[in-house]
Amino acid sequence: MARAALRTDRSLADITILAVTKTMPFSSLEEAWKCGLRHVGESRIQEAALKKSSFQTSLSGYDINWHLVGHLQTNKAKKAVEIFDFIQSLDSLRLAEILNREAAVQGKVIPCLVEIKVSDEQTKFGLAPEHLDDFLSQTSLFPFLQIEGLMTMAPYFEESHLARPYFRRAKDLFDRFFARFKGNRPILSMGMSHDYEVAVEEGANMIRIGTALFGQRPQADLL
Ligand SMILES: *Cc1c(COP(=O)(O)O)cnc(C)c1O
């Protein structure tokens, strides 16, 4: 990450590592925390809830941010708002409405990133870029949602540099729609174990890393 930041003249302090601990044992999370990582990503509600309660009982001085990185079904919005500090997979207006309502009930404001779909892959979730403008103006009326930036995933390439145009596309959208937030540092979450260097070169300020930190996941293909 440092090398990639240096290549493009960016400051390392500008980039946050999100440790993606999905499917990994609690001990991995604990270890990450001990190494100073303060942002963790999970993709399943139930698993995150379990880890969160273990974390609260095992480590005092609770200071960790829980990010949901997996697809969120509307019927799980309530639980998601309860558990997570950050929802990175906001991808529809319907989900935004329900999250806003749940957050209101729970008396909190939920920070979110809009997951944007920069590729044509059928298997990926995310809002189509051409809908982002409308989406942001509609959700700006939701007082319990705080949209702080964008999240995206490039298609998988053996040669990671091939992901560059996808990251560039996300960065363009980010600049266009989030430049106005200047003060409170909007988030551009992109780059995973195999392509984070390219993502950092293209302007990511949050990278989501699982395998490169913790090793191969069991059933990696399912998540
Ligand atoms: C699993 C996952 C990651 C981490 O992937 P690795 O390749 O293990 O680094 C990042 N982002 C999302 C959305 C994920 O689901």
Check pLDDT > 90 for residue 124: no
**Separation CA 111–CA 148 (nearest Å):** 7
> What phi and psi values does residue 119 have, to the nearest 5 degrees?
-120, 175
Average pLDDT estimate for 197-208: 97
Minimum mean pLDDT range among 125-134, 182-191, 205-214: 182-191
Structure tokens given for 110: 């939920």
Q: Is there an atom of ligand 1 within 6 Å of 211 CB?
A: yes
* 192 CB near ligand 1 (under 6 Å): yes
pLDDT digits (tens, 9 = 90+) for 36-88: 999 999 999 999 999 998 887 766 666 899 999 999 999 999 999 999 999 99
Summary mean pLDDT of the chain: 93
Q: Specify the residue with its C-alpha closest to ligand 1, atom 13.
A: 69
Q: Which of 12, 56, 14, 19 is nearest to 36 (CA)?
A: 19
pLDDT in tens, 89-109: 999 999 999 999 999 999 999
Residue 123 confidence class, pLDDT cut points 50, 70, 90: confident
Q: What is the distance in A from the centroid of ligand 1 to the CA of 107? A: 30
User: Is there a contact between 86 and 66 (Cβ–Cβ < 8 Å)?
Assistant: yes
Q: What is the pLDDT of residue 148?
A: 96
φ, ψ of residue 37 to 5 degrees: the values are -75, 135
- Nearest Cα to 112, choosing from 74, 144, 138? 144
**Atom of ligand 1 at shortest range from CA of 193:** 9
Residue type, 54: S
CA distance 219 to 44: 14
The beta-carbon contacts of 83-88 under 8 Å, at least 24 apart in sequence, are 83/45, 83/48, 83/49, 83/52, 84/48, 84/110, 85/111, 86/110, 86/111, 86/112, 86/113, 87/111, 87/112, 87/113, 88/41, 88/112, 88/113, 88/115, 88/151, 88/189
Tell me how far apart the alpha carbons of residues 139 and 146 are, in angstroms, rounded to a whole number.
9
Structural element, H or E, at residue 40 = strand 39-42
Phi and psi at residue 110, to the nearest 5°: -105, 120
* Ligand 1 centroid from CA 212, angstroms: 10
Question: What's the token pair of residue 37?
Answer: 């990582």
CA 199 to centroid of ligand 1, rounded, Å: 13
**Residue whose CA is closest, atom 11 of ligand 1?**
208
Cβ of 22 below 6 Å from ligand 1:
yes
How far away, in angstroms, is 166 Cα from ligand 1 center? 16
Q: Which atom of ligand 1 is nearest to the CA of 196?
A: 9
Which phi and psi (to 5°) does residue 94 adopt?
-65, -45
Backbone angles phi, psi at 139, to 5 degrees: -75, -15
What is the model's pLDDT at position 178? 93
